[in-house]
Amino acid sequence: MKRILILIIVASMLLVFVGCADDNTPADDGSGVQEVGEIILTGSSTLAPVVTQLIAEFMETNVTWDKVDSTFPAEEINIVINGGGSGAGISSSIEKTANFGMASKNVSEEEQAKFEGYSQYKLGTDALTIAVNPSNKIYESQDGFTSEELQKIFSGEYLYWDDVNSELPHSEIVVVTRDIGGGAHEVFQKKIMGEIEVSLNVIQAPSMGALVAKIIDNENAIGYASFGVVNQNEAKIIPMSVDGVDPTQENIISGDYKISRPLLVLKNGEMSPQEKALLDFLISDRGMQVVSELGFVPEN
Amino acid sequence: MNIYDYADKIAHRISRIVVLTTFLILVLIFLFILNESLSFLGSGFSDTILSVSWRPLSKNPSFGMLPMILGTLYIGFFATLLALPVSLGCASFISCQVRGRLKYLMLSMMDMLAGIPSVVYGLLGFYTVVKMLESTGLMAAGESIFAAIITLSVMLIPYMASSYVKAFEEVELMYGFQTRALGVSKWYSMTHLVIVHTKGHILTGYMLALSRALGETMAVMMVIGNSPILPKLFGKGITLSGLIALEMSGAQLDSLHYQSLYTAGIILLAFLLLINLLIRKIESWVKSNEI
């Protein structure tokens, strides 16, 4: 009896597997129109939430491609978004394993040369603001930091707050950074630190949210918080100016505020009509609205 | 041959295929990780693994993994050591002191605690242990090896205890009636009978918890600070799995940095393999001693 039961269970499991295999075969409805297939976007985890939200809207409102444009085939829209970081975004568009790459940093000329036909579309700008806890009285003594002060704080040369400004208490500076490989740290390293290494004895937060949570929680903390996240936590953390320039929307757009990075969508070679339609939606007014809703500075 | 024999044969074949597939997947995972890290191991930077400086992206990169290796072992051993006596007490209480509905309630609560995702424990640690350490004024930032040990041991207690409860109950079933008839006190029977009789099981349970502790990523990552420096009890630190989780997403594909993270994976896998072998050894030793 037991054996028969096992046999039935195993047989039904096999059937499930067979059923799965069936699902994967593409539906052939006999129409002669060229198939669109899957569109893949790979890259920056900063840009991914923006694109994910927009594409969810795109797929919900249109469902099939012929609703986007009547000349397109009546095929279900199938768009996949992968993270992996800006590096993966650039390499996957060079290798054409993704239809679009997403990068939250400038693509170097060396990398651009590897593309067959390089084109980039800027959705907006993200800035990193140097933020401190509201209980830290540094913003009463000084408006902001100079690049040199930041270098000394992040490299571990200044260990206590009174090293920075003698009016402050003798308490240890708690430096919070993101992981060294990520886009945020790369921008900070390039724009502020230059050749100087960031100290190893700093907290590396696993996400931007964790970084900001630490600054909200610890009165001795300092870190580079994403512009968008600072806006969401107004009064809980204090953004400071850098070299006399405040991190405001105008200064970020004009480029006066220096710790900023572009949010780019990359394309290698010619676009298919469907890809063009998708990109047009990303850089549409609605696209810009989502960019600013998620706290970034929209391009238009 | 009747139908049952056929069914038997088919079931046998299928289970054999399933076992082989599982084994194959394990081998493939190992080969994949090895393959990804191979070009790093042959790159000439591999001798920097045993240094203390983790600078994978600087002009003169060095890939010192000693801080992560020592950090992982430090946290794993101390967290399990801290959790062991508490779990033993917990298990002996549940198996010998309570009965009926209360026991059922306690067991199911324990299973529920063991099933809570580790990120929840991490968040709890971040808002309680880390905060507490900061408010004592001992440290400017509460993120430390100490916070990780406390968080991890709290996580391990239900896991360890529920594995001990089963072993203790068996002893209780075998000898409980007799010891009570002889008028042996509960404390005496616990220390002189139950613990002695299940010491092999306690050891394997400990090792299993240790292998879980070494691989634990999220909970530890949220309270440890993730600084690649040598571990000190009240200093920041980092673990191997934490390093991989933290930096894999940012590492450029096929760069030395990316490959070195896979090498960290190999080191972690080697530790887990070693512990599993030890568990098998202990189990066979216990079996041969029982008979």
**pLDDT given for residue A270 in this prediction:** 87
Q: To the nearest whole angstrom, how far is the Cα of B254 from the nearest Cα of chain A?
A: 10
Mean pLDDT value across residues B153-170? 92
Taking only the tens place, the pLDDT of each residue in B169-216 is 888 888 888 998 999 988 888 888 888 888 888 999 999 999 999 999
Residues A121, A266 within the same domain: yes
Whether A105 contacts A122, CB under 8 Å: no
Q: How far apart are CA A33 and CA B140, in angstroms?
A: 65
Nearest chain A residue (CA) to B252: A87
The CATH number covering residue A217 comes to 3.40.190.10
Residues A221, A277 within the same domain: no
Residues A224, A135 within the same domain: yes
**pLDDT given for residue A232 in this prediction:** 80
Q: To the nearest whole angstrom, how far is the Cα of B262 from the nearest Cα of chain A?
A: 15
The boundaries of the domain holding residue A66 are 3-125+262-298
Residues A211, A280 within the same domain: no
Residues in chain A, pLDDT under 70: 1-34
Whether B148 contacts B237, CB under 8 Å: yes
Residues A254, A186 within the same domain: yes
Mean pLDDT value across residues B218-231? 91
Q: Are strands A100-103 and A38-43 parallel, antiparallel or unpaired?
A: parallel
Please state, as a whole number, how many other Cβ atoms lie within 10 Å of the Cβ of residue A91: 22
For testing contact with chain A, the best of B249, B256, B259 (most A CBs within 10 A):
B249
Residues A57, A138 within the same domain: no
Whole-number percent of chain B with pLDDT over 90: 53
Residues A121, A269 within the same domain: yes
Residues A160, A63 within the same domain: no
Residues A184, A211 within the same domain: yes
For testing contact with chain B, the best of A204, A216, A219 (most B CBs within 10 A):
A204
Whole-number percent of chain B with pLDDT over 70: 99
Please state, as a whole number, how many other Cβ atoms lie within 10 Å of the Cβ of residue A150: 24
pTM, two decimals, is 0.79
**pLDDT given for residue B10 in this prediction:** 93
Please state, as a whole number, how many other Cβ atoms lie within 10 Å of the Cβ of residue A139: 14
Taking only the tens place, the pLDDT of each residue in B69-112 is 999 999 999 999 999 999 999 999 998 888 889 999 999 999 99
Mean pLDDT value across residues B251-262? 82
CB–CB contact B249 A197 (8 Å): no
Nearest by CB to B140, from A85, A171, A210: name it.
Answer: A171
Nearest by CB to A200, from B10, B228, B252: name it.
Answer: B228
Residues A110, A144 within the same domain: no
Residues A51, A145 within the same domain: no
Strand partners, B35: none
Taking only the tens place, the pLDDT of each residue in B4-27 is 888 999 999 999 999 999 999 989
Q: How far apart are CA A263 and CA B250, in angstroms?
A: 16
DSSP string of B77-115? HHHHHHHHHHHHHHHHIIIII--HHHHHHHHHHHHHHHH
**pLDDT given for residue A24 in this prediction:** 42
What average pLDDT is seen over chain B? 89
**pLDDT given for residue B243 in this prediction:** 93
Residues A116, A140 within the same domain: no
What residues contact A175, with CB distance under 8 A and at least 6 apart? A153, A154, A156, A199, A202, A203, A221, A222, A223
Total of domains in chain A? 2
